[in-house]
Structure 1
Amino acid sequence: MQQKIMLCVLLVTTACSRADHFGKPPSFTPTMNNSEHYAMMNPPIPLASDRPVAREKASLWSKNRQSLLGDRRAMQRGDILTVVIEIDEEAKISNQTNRSRSGSEKMAVPALVGIPQVAGQHMPEGSSLDPAIDLNSSGKSNGSGAVRRQEELTLRIAATVVDVLPNGILSIEGSQEVRVNFEMRELLVTGFVRPEDVSRQNQITYDKIASARVSYGGRGQITDVQQPRYGQQALDMVLPF
């Protein structure tokens, strides 16, 4: 009974995910009440050192972020920075293995106190104790493999600082959706950034993001057709051939 209920829940969940764009374009993900929106709506409490003193308010060289020469790089929760993703990688792996083994064993009993001669009289025709045991074995295996991958991706996305860790590291998260006709293109990026790695243009490249997670995909009617059905995926996992 429980298995039937779980199966029904799975089928309903699958149908609901596809029903979002049944006969209409996919819906955008809500931008309210997510982690980025929360970080922007709840900025950190400013420290006493961050508050400008009276003499800095009238100075042209104030370190205030709104001044002419102020540092406008993202450094606190709710700030926005640009993530530049430029991936152009190629990997080639090739290996080959050869292994061979051979063995031979032979034991003969031509004379043992006359036992071979006496035993030979009672053995079937063609049988003999000379040799008594003769074994030969050999083995050989060859293996080869090659892997070649090539990836190229160039993207830019605005990410939000959702948290500042105790050691000053910035936790960032960004999402971007573009809808064209009945297909939705999605780009997601998360990771951890050192404030000093953010350039003066308030940008950072993906290779300076620790624990970077980049997802580039989509959803819609075309994506549904390209993906095999859930039943086929389940059979691919179970069937041995």
Structure 2
Amino acid sequence: MKQLLLICAATLMLGGCVSAPPKPDSPHFAPVRPPAMQAPREVTGSIFNAATSNSLYSDGRAHRVGDIITIVLQESTSSSKSNKTTVDKSNSQTLGSPTVLGIQPTVFGKPLSVSSGDTTTAFDGEGKSDMSNSLDGNITVTVHEVMPNGLMVVKGEKWLTLNQGDEYIRVSGMIRPQDISTSNTVYSTQLADARITYSGSGALNDSNSMGWLSKFFIGPLWPF
């Protein structure tokens, strides 16, 4: 009975470690609205509003809170690492026959001596890791904050609902106004403090994910 209770408790603990799938409409990536604009004073009968006006020489690039900008995703990473460790140690100890009052004690006529014999310890380990990732695409985000030095904090997410699940892209970071092209786009490699997440949920994503029980058997908690 105790063993059954222990198994049930371990199952509940491992089940609680399973993270919940992400959901759309995260407040952290939600678009922001520009500050409320006051109606212009019609002193001369003009409807001009300096808050929404654009100069004849402006290019339409994002520069205010609430403006949208397109991030061109061009991420590519590749890494390779290998190591090998070899340790070999041997030891041999022998304790000679002691003397007591100048006389060597004997056991059944043989001198008393102790020998630990030969001990050998060896370890040979080798590891290798290769990783390559690539992400291409576009995502349009909004300007959440314009810092005093001109940098703009941008955030946004894109969700695609497919017939077997959802896929999403989340992007956040800081950009310089001079990095924005005339088409109001900027490359993801020009994002400072970038946070880019591409994942999914649903049947296809679950089929490629390892279950919690399998993670337990190959994890550090499994003693064998």
TM exceeding 0.5: yes
Q: Which among 66, 70, 82 is matched to residue 78 of structure 1? A: 66
Uncovered stretches (5+) of structure 2, i.e. residues with no partner: 1-8, 39-47
1:73–1:218 CA distance, 2 compared to 1 (3 A)? same
CA RMSD of aligned residues (A): 3.8
Residues 103 and 229 (structure 1), Cα distance of their counterparts in 2 relative to 1, 3 Å cut: closer
Q: 1:195 aligns with which of 167, 171, 177?
A: 177
Residue 227 of structure 1: how far off its partner (Å): 4.3
CA contact (8 A) 1:44 1:76 kept: no
Displacement of 1:149: 0.7
- In the alignment, does 2:83 pair up with 1:90? no
1:31-64 deviation digits (Å, cap 9, x = unpaired): 9x87644x2343699xxxxxxxxxxx9xxxxxx7
Greater per-residue strand proportion: 2
Cα 1:239/1:99, change in 2 over 3 Å: closer
Deviation at 1:183, TM superposition (A): 2.5
Q: 2:143 aligns with which of 161, 166, 187?
A: 161
Change (3 A) 1:110 1:75: same
Dislocated runs of 4+, deviation >6 Å: none
How many Å separate the matches in 2 of 1:93 and 1:34? 36
| Cα deviation digits, residues 48-88 of structure 1 (max 9, x gap) | xxxxxxxxx9xxxxxx7453x41322222111111111122
Pairwise CA distance, 1:96 = 0.8
- Alignment check: 8 A CA contact 1:177 1:186 kept: yes
Q: Does 1:171 align with 2:164?
A: no
Contact kept? 2:156, 2:171, Cα under 8 Å: yes
Residue-pair matches, total = 195
Q: For 1:17-40, what per-residue CA distance to the aligned partner results, in whole angstroms no more than 9, with x for missing partners?
A: 8xxxxxxxxxx9459x87644x23
Counterpart for residue 111 of structure 2: 128
Contact 1:43/1:77 (CA < 8 Å) preserved in 2? no
Task: State the TM-score, normalizing by the size of structure 1.
Answer: 0.64
TM-score normalized by structure 2?
0.68
Deviation at 1:172, TM superposition (A): 0.7
How many Å apart are 1:216 and its aligned residue?
Answer: 1.4
User: SS in structure 1 opposite 2:189?
Assistant: helix
> Distance between the aligned counterparts of 1:240 and 1:136, measured in 2?
30
1:207 is matched with which residue: 176, 189, 194? Answer: 189
How is 1:7-156 mapped onto 2 (pairs within 5 angstroms)? 29=24, 36-37=30-31, 39-42=32-35, 65=54, 67=56, 69-109=57-97, 114-116=102-104, 119-120=105-106, 123=107, 125=108, 127-129=110-112, 131-156=113-138
Q: Which amino acid in the other structure matches residue 169 of structure 1?
A: L
Relative distance call for 1:44 and 1:95 in structure 2 (3 A) is: farther
Point out where structure 1 has 5 or more consecutive residues left out of the alignment.
18-27, 46-56, 58-63
- In 1: Cα distance, 2:140 partner to 2:205 partner: 25
CA–CA distance in 2 between the matches of 1:157 and 1:205? 11
